[in-house]
Structure 1
Amino acid sequence: MSQLTKRALAASLKKLLARKPLSKITIADITEDCGMNRMTFYYHFQDIYDLIDWICQEEGERAFQGRKDYDTWQEGFIALCHAVIENRAFILGVYRSVQREQVENYLGRVVYGLLLDVVEELSAPYSLPEQDRAYITNFYKYAFVGVMLDWVRDGMQQPPEEVVGRVSRMTRGQLLLAIQNLADSPRP
């Protein structure tokens, strides 16, 4: 029941963002749209930004489903771009209504999960401290999120396959090289 309630609140926010800016949407608007009371909203979320974060996490997880390893990360990233296109009104509503840093944080948490799994997989044969794995993951997260934000800002004109293909070609072998460069030594 809890997930259904969250999804209903998310659907209402998405619907409202297609009609008006985020700054004009209240919790009362969201709950009225989906036939719930305000306390139900607050049972699940602290505020509208918490709901936005939840939506981003859900959409990201759905996009990455089973595509979070070295061989499939490109497919996961493409699926995430397609999810952004499918949720264009929501994404643009959030993008235009909050500071860039908040949008970076929303996308960053989603992309970090994808990249961390890839870094963990590639670093398995090496002695690489957790803080170095996190550092590498964050480094590439900022690059990937920056590319995505530019793509959104430019109206999502390029097909996701082109955007991700270019990122893939530019980073081919670089993640493993970063791991090797920071690793103490290969594990026996």
Structure 2
Amino acid sequence: MSVKLDRRKKYTRMLLKESLMKLMQEKPLSNITIKEICDLADINRSTFYSHYTDLYDLLYQIEDEIIKDLSEALSSYNYTKDEEALQMTENLLVYIANNRESCQTLFSEYGDPSFQKKVMMLAHDHVIKTPLVGKHTKPDISEYVSLYIVNGSIHIVQSWLKNGLKQSPKEMAELIIKLGNRGLSSFQ
């Protein structure tokens, strides 16, 4: 009996998450009501409140799940090996492609800026450990180099999502690593 309830609970939460993401593609969270989410998910308000305290609780749980997944993926790499930077970047892009709708929505103009900042800081904490930053820069400027690479990479990913993922995750990973390693001079 509890397995059935767990499946039903997961399904309901999935519907609520998908409904919020769909609505956030059209308008900011401040203009979305719980009633709209419930109508779209075809559930009643009491069911919503049995899972979440409010819209922000729902949004933060979606964001936290993505941050947790990204953190686990980033933590599984050895940053002393150059070749793993490409593999790590490609795997992150595969994750983003597989979760395209949520990632695209959360990184859009209607997304939560604090989520975008959390992703940037998470990436920054891992990029600063890579040989890309560590061995090629002086310690006093490595922080700036890392922030530059992360911010540029996030904007590349946002554009990639917005343009419909026309390039493969591997192609995008190679571009990001190439820009990070050698900057614009690698394209001349």
- Same fold per superposition (TM over 0.5): yes
TM-score (norm 1): 0.63
Greater alpha carbon shift after TM alignment, 76-85 vs 105-114: 105-114
Q: 2:147 is matched with which residue: 138, 149, 154? A: 138
Q: Where do 5+ consecutive residues of structure 2 fail to align?
A: 1-5, 184-188
Report the counterpart of residue 3 of structure 2 in structure 1. none
Equivalents in 2 of 1:116, 1:36: separation in Å? Answer: 44
Report the counterpart of residue 15 of structure 1 in structure 2. 18
Equivalent pair of 2:124/2:147 in contact (CA under 8 Å): yes
1:172 is paired with a residue whose SS is helix
Report the counterpart of residue 150 of structure 1 in structure 2. 159
- Quote the sequence identity (%): 10
How many residues are aligned here?
Answer: 162
Tell whether 2:60 aligns with 1:57: no
Q: 1:163 is matched with which residue: 165, 169, 172? A: 172
1:53 is paired with a residue whose SS is helix
Report the counterpart of residue 139 of structure 2 in structure 1. 128
Report the counterpart of residue 79 of structure 1 in structure 2. 91
TM-score (norm 2): 0.63
1:47 is paired with a residue whose SS is helix
Q: CA deviation at 1:82?
A: 0.7
Equivalents in 1 of 2:14, 2:143: separation in Å? Answer: 33
Structure-2 change in CA distance of 1:79 and 1:167 (3 Å): same
Deviations 1:18-54 (A, max 9, x none): 6x31344639859x79x97747645xx9634422431
Structure-2 change in CA distance of 1:10 and 1:40 (3 Å): closer
Please report the RMSD computed on the Cα atoms of aligned residues, expressed in angstroms: 4.1
Deviations 1:160-183 (A, max 9, x none): 100111222233267xxxxxxxxx
Report the counterpart of residue 186 of structure 2 in structure 1. none
Equivalent pair of 1:78/1:160 in contact (CA under 8 Å): yes
Structure-2 change in CA distance of 1:68 and 1:107 (3 Å): farther
